[in-house]
Amino acid sequence: MPRFRARVAAIAAAAGLCLLSTSTTSANGAAGLEWVALGDSYTAGAIHAAGPTFEEPRDGCQRTTGSYPEVIKRDLGPLVSLRNVSCGNATVADVSHQDQTPIGYGLHIPGVVDINDPDAPFNPVPPQLDAVRPSADLVTVGVGGNSLGFGEILGQCISVGPEGGFGSSPCRDYYTSGTTHSIEERLQRVRNEYDQMLTRIHAKAPFAKIITVGYPAVIPESAASCLYGNILQFATIRHADLNWLRDSVLKPLNTVIEQVSAAHGDKFVDIYTSSREHSVCATGSNKWVEGVKETLGNNEDPNTWALVHPNARGQANAAVHVEDAILGG
């Protein structure tokens, strides 16, 4: 990407004249890279453990100060001019072409949690792609989990877990029984939608560097390290189902995103590898992803729920790798 590398070099050189400035314009007037961050809750931050939300007035998208776009913005300072339109619960279609009605702190998993945000209903937000202008230098996008239905699958696994015994996999059995769309069908749908989304981004910003961001390792390589019934981890999801979720749902989702990105000539950022030892079932500061709940407090308090999302440490790790991809030119 010669044009992008030239822009980075020019802005960095200009910013070097004014290193203490917090403006997105350097001392000689060189504007920072025009960057638009697109994505779902793994980009927006969304949960209390990823920092406070900062939008005023609230639009219900739950962007947090500890999310990786905001971390990178603070780190790069005048090198970038960020427009972060990521939104919790966003699908690929919400990024690409359809309006989304944000749910804010709303949490809805049958049999697990049902909380409505007191400020809801929120007004619909336009497709995130609307924020991308032809002059954009950089577009990052992290999305796909909601199109796959990961939240729904997670809730189903929690719901049917108590029906099984030691060594059973009632959730895998449910999704391979033919009573619902198979994971393979869902992955193919995500592949098609992701391909269409990247085509639209390239058409909208023909000179932009496009970076796609994968999902972290939320489940350890050995589910035996997770405690069955622990709501700060995966609650009542059986160990065999956790292994199935990791190997047949999450890893393949990252593979789909990586493959489609490569087909478009775009840079894919692998978050998974660096987070393998920092899953929901890790402890202390090694834990980069919160479990079903973040704390054992009042179940009616949305800040106690995380529904398997990265905390500030996980977001900081994502920031390192996305920033490397940005500066890699």
Split at pLDDT 50, 70, 90, the class of 20 is very low
At residue 22, the pLDDT reads 33
Averaged pLDDT score across all residues of the chain? 92
13: confidence class by pLDDT, cuts 50, 70, 90: confident
Within a domain: 26: no
Instruction: Indicate whether 260 belongs to any domain.
Output: yes
Q: Is 111 left (phi over 0), alpha (psi -120 to 50) or beta?
A: left
Tokens of residue 217, six digits: 């390792």
The tally of domains found in the chain comes to 1
pTM (global) more than 0.85: yes
- For residue 148, being part of any structural domain is answered with yes
What's the CA gap between 65 and 79, in Å, rounded? 19
Assigned domain for 90 exists: yes
- The contacts of residue 226 (CB under 8 Å, 6+ apart) are 219, 220, 233, 234, 239, 242, 280, 281
Q: Tokens at residue 258, please?
A: 């990586």
Q: In the predicted model, is pLDDT for residue 188 greater than 70?
A: yes
pLDDT surpassing 80 at residue 329: no
Rounded CA-CA distance 26/80 in Å is 10
* Partners of 64 in beta bridges: 53
- Domain membership flag for residue 118: yes
pLDDT at 111 over 90: no
120, part of any domain: yes
Residue 6 lies in a domain: no
Task: List the CATH number of the domain containing 208.
Answer: 3.40.50.1110
Q: Decide if pLDDT at 23 tops 70.
A: no
- Does 19 fall in a domain? no
Bond into 121 cis (ω within 30): yes
Domain that residue 81 falls in: 32-327
